[in-house]
């Protein structure tokens, strides 16, 4: 059995950012999960190096197009190594470059096959004609009237709705692909393989696009207008349209049209692929690409899966002008790679748009990783070191000690916890297979919560004081260690380094990367195994410190950034231009800014209470903070700190009804403990707070639900 997964190949005109990294992380995660199951897997990523946009970027930075591509590729290689995504770290198998000679060969072969082919309606698949229309260099796409902004001044060119740059007028003879003849054939593919385009919402978009009628596609340019491309076979005055040629990379990389490559990798062996793409380039992959393959008589891809876009925390598309892009250098410098992987997979509901902010990343890393998985693992291992001489303890409680165990409330039957974890594992894998990473991770964290609770309830530190409870203590620690073993196998594809570290700290050899999570059996962690050295896996991130480093870093780095890297970036309108709204394929959910949904149970976890302010005073030396005493119907009023001093006079708050998050973990601010949080709206650039209140009478302590 084999498996082949691809990311898009990235334009070699500009340096990568979070959006590019994301697809690589998803592909890498999928590839590792397949390898874990022993499936021979091939993972492709790479660069799309031809076309007018790269030619122009090169010209601007005084390089040849090949030098330009080499420069961008060297950055990609450095970046993928730093993020553990390259071959040396068990990541991609090929960094594909469309300037490779074998790609030229394979692309020519595919063209030839299409040129010989008849469409399903009996016409020549490729024909010569005249193209007259508008072209966006940044999209590398011809634009129809509803896809561009008409010029405000007469005679000026229209502009691209996505990039806001002037379109090129194209009027030349060239080759066309008779896409219009493929509508029925494509619709029958979508019909017969409902999983061909995923998720469902995107599939529906594709179907309605095809049903709306397909136009023939111009697939070449005159060499005199675009010279940087693969020559059309037997007609060197023309170069192939960059999208036509770039899509073919997915098969040339593994050997199509080149015997040597076929021997090294194997088209027969690995095709068809699972293509991961952003929703903005879905049409090329789900409509054009299958049509080319149908013409050439080649099997269609396994599936095309489209993910959403990363937006900033306020829901705006990332752009350099707005200054809201996530730079990979900054990410790499301040965060653990696995924390980044976890965050992007947990945060983005696959298929929908997601929001990325450093603060959100820090909060999640601290709560889910440092306080969650990391803490569970280190407290378990530390206790094993302390109470069990650093060896995995025995799991069974002997008959004569059962009563003692029962007295402490510990479930003496380990099958309860084993059953829970098995079920969670199955659900996790089901969600993972469906690429619902966010949901899968939620399920995995239910295991963390369960084991945490078992430990907290059993209080091993008390058990350790009583000789009669030695076996109870051992059993609890065994369950916890075994759960951690399971988690490190399950989560390995998502956090390979951290899971390997946990695995090794458990005293296990090699890596969890060769263990199939579906085959985990409870109790296979061997008693007596000597654990490894216990080290923190996810150190807590000091939010204020890191945020101020990032903020000052980005300010001072603006100049250094504007050196070599910018030579490339300036040449690319794609990320430089403030983009209005994402117009392409915008769904209703995008329009209202809904990016992820929670279950009602998630909401129920937040204990919101009506409170009344009894007193309010300023906090010395903290000009933003007010110290409030709030009655929420409990015996004692709560002391809550609120960052609203610049907007509210303390005395005016007295008696005011407010909403309090009552189950927020207490924390200390400026030496005062804050036992909850006042809920407020936040608006405007500086995030002006407006306290939530009630217009009707409501008793203190009433719950909001
Ligand atoms: N070269 C083409 C792909 C050819 S594949 C045969 C291309 N390159 S690209 O560099 O512009 O984009 C590559 C991928 O990055 C696309 O899938 C795109 O969706 C993704 N992203 C770019 N910005 C993004 C976000 N802000 N968020 C998520 N993905 C984003 O298109």
Over residues 335-345, the pLDDT tens digits come to 999 999 999 99
Q: Model confidence over 635-685: pLDDT tens digits?
A: 788 999 999 998 888 888 988 999 999 999 888 888 888 999 999 988 766
Q: Which two tokens stand for residue 84?
A: 């553990």
Residue 699: its pLDDT value, please?
A: 84
Residue 435: its pLDDT value, please?
A: 96
Residue 320: its pLDDT value, please?
A: 61
Q: Model confidence over 288-309: pLDDT tens digits?
A: 999 999 999 999 999 999 999 9
**CA dist., res. 626 & res. 156, Å (int):** 57
Q: What is the CA angle 90-95-99, rounded to 5?
A: 170
Q: Model confidence over 130-168: pLDDT tens digits?
A: 998 899 888 888 888 888 888 888 888 999 888 788 899
Q: What is the mean pLDDT of residues 267-272?
A: 98
Residue 562: its pLDDT value, please?
A: 28
Q: Hey, is 64 helix, strand or coil? A: coil
Residue 33: its pLDDT value, please?
A: 98
Best mutation site among 12, 27, 141, 278 for ligand 1 pocket (most ligand atoms within 8 Å of CB)? 278
Least confident of 112-116, 197-201, 482-486, 698-702: 698-702
User: Parallel, antiparallel, or unpaired: how do β-strands 354-355 and 703-704 relate?
Assistant: unpaired
Among candidate residues 284, 192, 291, the one with its CA nearest the CA of residue 585:
284
Element (H, E) at 467: none
**CA dist., res. 264 & res. 84, Å (int):** 24
**Residue 586 pLDDT level (bands cut at 50, 70, 90):** very low
**Residue 592 pLDDT level (bands cut at 50, 70, 90):** very low
Please give the distance of CA 486 from its chain centroid, rounded to a whole number.
23
230 alpha carbon to ligand 1 midpoint, in Å?
21
Give the strand order in the sheet containing 40-48.
94-97, 40-48, 2-11, 274-278, 303-307, 197-198
Does 582 have pLDDT greater than 60?
no
Residue 705: its pLDDT value, please?
A: 87
Does 126 have pLDDT greater than 50?
yes
Q: Model confidence over 224-269: pLDDT tens digits?
A: 999 999 999 999 999 999 999 999 999 999 999 999 999 999 999 9
Burial of 152 (0-12, 13-18, 19+ CB in 10 A): exposed
Does 578 have pLDDT greater than 70?
no
In DSSP terms, which residues pair with 304 in a beta bridge? 197, 275
565 alpha carbon to ligand 1 midpoint, in Å?
19
User: Parallel, antiparallel, or unpaired: how do β-strands 303-307 and 197-198 relate?
Assistant: parallel
Residues with CB under 6 A from ligand 1: 8-11, 19-20, 22-23, 48, 246-247, 277-278, 280-281, 309-310, 318
Q: Which two tokens stand for residue 597?
A: 């949904």
19 alpha carbon to ligand 1 midpoint, in Å?
7
**CA dist., res. 373 & res. 226, Å (int):** 53
Count CB neighbours of 288 within 10 A.
21
Q: What is the CA angle 50-56-62, rounded to 5?
A: 110
Residues noted as catalytic: 17, 20, 136, 139, 160, 163, 317, 320
Nearest CA to ligand 1 atom 9: 10
Nearest CA to ligand 1 atom 13: 10
Least confident of 392-401, 456-465, 680-689: 680-689
Which residue pairs from 266-272 have beta carbons closer than 8 angstroms and sit at least 24 positions apart in sequence?
269/2, 269/40, 270/2, 270/3, 270/4, 270/42, 271/4, 271/298, 271/299, 272/4, 272/299, 272/300, 272/301, 272/302
Q: Which two tokens stand for residue 491?
A: 């989560």
In DSSP terms, which residues pair with 669 in a beta bridge? 672
**CA dist., res. 65 & res. 455, Å (int):** 61
**CA dist., res. 154 & res. 152, Å (int):** 7
Residue 554: its pLDDT value, please?
A: 59
11 alpha carbon to ligand 1 midpoint, in Å?
8
**Residue 391 pLDDT level (bands cut at 50, 70, 90):** very high
Element (H, E) at 356: none
**Residue 321 pLDDT level (bands cut at 50, 70, 90):** low
**CA dist., res. 71 & res. 81, Å (int):** 16
Q: What is the mean pLDDT of the chain?
A: 90
Query: Could you please report the per-residue DSSP string of 131-163?
Result: EEEEEETTTTEEE-GGGEEPPSSTTSPPEETTT
**Residue 589 pLDDT level (bands cut at 50, 70, 90):** very low
Best mutation site among 6, 7, 10 for ligand 1 pocket (most ligand atoms within 8 Å of CB)? 10
Q: Hey, is 507 helix, strand or coil? A: coil
Query: Could you please report the per-residue DSSP string of 375-436?
Result: HHHHHHHHHHHHHSTTB----PPPHHHHHHHHHTT--S-THHHHHHHHHHHHHHHHHHHTT-
> Quick one: which atom of ligand 1 is closest to the CA of 279?
19
Least confident of 45-49, 56-60, 552-556: 552-556
In DSSP terms, which residues pair with 317 in a beta bridge? 311
Q: Model confidence over 610-644: pLDDT tens digits?
A: 999 998 999 888 888 999 999 998 878 899 999 99
Q: What is the dihedral of CA 612, 617, 621, 623, to 10 degrees?
A: 60
**CA dist., res. 473 & res. 687, Å (int):** 50
In DSSP terms, which residues pair with 95 in a beta bridge? 45
261 alpha carbon to ligand 1 midpoint, in Å?
26
Alpha helices of 335-374 — where are they, by DSSP H? 337-347, 358-364
Residue 572: its pLDDT value, please?
A: 33
Sign of torsion, CA 690 694 700 701? negative
> Quick one: which atom of ligand 1 is closest to the CA of 308?
28
**CA dist., res. 374 & res. 499, Å (int):** 10
Q: Is the Cβ–Cβ distance between 498 and 375 less than 8 Å?
A: no
Q: How far is CA 313 from CA 17, 316, 318, 353, 548, in A?
A: 16, 7, 10, 11, 17
Q: What is the mean pLDDT of residues 519-542?
A: 96
Q: Is the Cβ–Cβ distance between 342 and 444 less than 8 Å?
A: no
Q: Which two tokens stand for residue 229?
A: 């491309």
**CA dist., res. 680 & res. 221, Å (int):** 57
Q: How far is CA 560 from CA 323, 326, 462, 554, in A?
A: 15, 16, 57, 10
52-60 helix and 65-82 helix, angle to the nearest 10 degrees:
90
> Quick one: which atom of ligand 1 is closest to the CA of 277?
17
Q: Is the Cβ–Cβ distance between 639 and 675 less than 8 Å?
A: yes
Provide the strand spans (E) within 492-606: none
9 alpha carbon to ligand 1 midpoint, in Å?
8
**Residue 575 pLDDT level (bands cut at 50, 70, 90):** very low
Q: Model confidence over 396-411: pLDDT tens digits?
A: 999 999 999 998 888 9
**Residue 595 pLDDT level (bands cut at 50, 70, 90):** very low
Q: How far is CA 526 from CA 394, 455, 562, in A?
A: 9, 20, 56
- Show Cβ contacts of residue 556 under 8 Å, excluding neighbours closer than 6 positions: none
8 alpha carbon to ligand 1 midpoint, in Å?
7
Sign of torsion, CA 373 379 380 382? positive
**CA dist., res. 264 & res. 256, Å (int):** 11
């Amino acid at each position: 059995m084999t498996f082949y997964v691809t990311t898009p190949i990235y334009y070699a005109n500009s340096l990568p950012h979070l959006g590019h990294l994301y697809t690589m992380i998803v592909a890498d995660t999928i590839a590792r999960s397949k390898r874990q199951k022993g499936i021979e897997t091939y993972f492709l990523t790479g660069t799309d190096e031809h076309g007018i946009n790269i030619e122009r970027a090169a010209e601007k930075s005084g390089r040849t197009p090949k030098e330009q591509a080499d420069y961008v590729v060297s950055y990609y290689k450095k970046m993928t190594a730093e993020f553990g995504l390259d071959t040396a770290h068990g990541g991609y198998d090929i960094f594909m470059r469309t300037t490779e000679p074998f790609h030229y060969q394979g692309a020519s072969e595919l063209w030839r096959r299409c040129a010989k082919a008849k469409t399903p309606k009996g016409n020549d698949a490729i024909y010569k004609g005249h193209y007259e229309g508008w072209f966006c260099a940044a999209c590398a796409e011809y634009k129809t009237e509803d896809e561009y902004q008409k010029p405000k001044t007469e005679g000026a060119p229209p502009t691209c709705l996505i990039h806001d740059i002037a379109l090129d007028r194209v009027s030349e003879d060239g080759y066309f692909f008779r896409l219009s003849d493929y509508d029925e054939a494509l619709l029958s593919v979508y019909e017969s393989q409902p999983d061909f385009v995923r998720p469902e919402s995107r599939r529906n978009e594709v179907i309605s696009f095809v049903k709306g009628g397909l136009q023939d596609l111009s697939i070449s340019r005159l060499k005199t207008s675009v010279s940087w491309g693969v020559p059309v076979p037997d007609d060197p005055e023309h170069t192939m349209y960059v999208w036509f040629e770039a899509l073919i990379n997915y098969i040339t990389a593994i050997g199509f049209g080149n015997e040597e490559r076929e021997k090294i990798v194997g088209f027969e062996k690995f095709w068809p692929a699972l293509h991961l793409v952003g929703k903005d380039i879905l049409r090329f992959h789900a409509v054009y690409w299958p049509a080319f393959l149908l013409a050439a008589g080649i099997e269609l891809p396994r599936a095309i899966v489209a993910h959403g876009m990363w937006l900033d925390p306020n829901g705006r598309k990332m752009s350099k002008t707005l200054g809201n892009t996530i730079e990979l250098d900054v990410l790499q410098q301040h965060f653990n790679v696995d924390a980044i992987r976890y965050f992007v997979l947990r945060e983005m509901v696959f298929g929908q748009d997601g929001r990325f902010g450093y603060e959100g990343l820090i909060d999640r890393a601290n709560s889910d990783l440092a306080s969650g998985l990391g803490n569970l693992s280190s407290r378990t291992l530390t206790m094993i070191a302390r109470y069990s001489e650093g060896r995995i303890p025995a799991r069974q409680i002997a008959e004569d000690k059962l009563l003692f165990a029962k007295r402490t409330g510990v479930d003496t039957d380990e099958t309860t916890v084993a059953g829970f974890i098995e079920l969670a594992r199955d659900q996790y894998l089901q969600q993972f297979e469906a690429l619902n990473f966010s949901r899968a991770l939620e399920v995995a964290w239910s295991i963390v919560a369960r084991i945490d609770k078992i430990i907290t309830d059993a209080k091993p530190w008390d058990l350790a004081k009583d000789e009669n409870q030695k076996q109870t203590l051992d059993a609890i620690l065994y369950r916890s260690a075994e759960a951690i073993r399971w988690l490190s196998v399950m989560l390995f594809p998502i956090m390979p380094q951290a899971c390997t570290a946990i695995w090794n700290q458990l005293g296990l050899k090699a890596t969890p990367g060769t263990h199939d999570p579906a085959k985990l059996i409870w109790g296979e962690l061997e008693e007596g195994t000597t654990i490894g050295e216990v080290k923190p896996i996810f150190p807590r991130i000091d939010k204020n410190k890191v945020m101020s480093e990032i903020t000052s870093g980005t300010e001072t780095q603006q100049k250094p950034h504007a050196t070599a890297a910018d030579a490339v970036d300036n040449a690319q309108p794609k990320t430089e231009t403030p983009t209005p709204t994402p117009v392409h394929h915008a769904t209703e959910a995008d329009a209202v800014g809904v990016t992820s949904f929670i279950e009602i149970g998630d909401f129920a976890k937040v204990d919101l209470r009506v409170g009344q302010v009894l007193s309010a005073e300023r906090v010395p030396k903290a000009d933003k903070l007010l110290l409030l005493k709030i009655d929420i119907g409990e015996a004692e009023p709560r002391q809550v700190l609120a960052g609203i001093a610049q907007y509210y006079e303390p005395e005016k708050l007295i008696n005011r009804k407010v909403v309090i998050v009552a189950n927020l973990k207490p924390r200390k601010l400026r030496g005062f403990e804050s036992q909850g949080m006042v809920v407020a709206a936040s608006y405007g650039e500086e995030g002006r707070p407006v306290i939530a209140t009630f217009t009707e009478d409501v008793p203190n302590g009433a719950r909001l639900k």
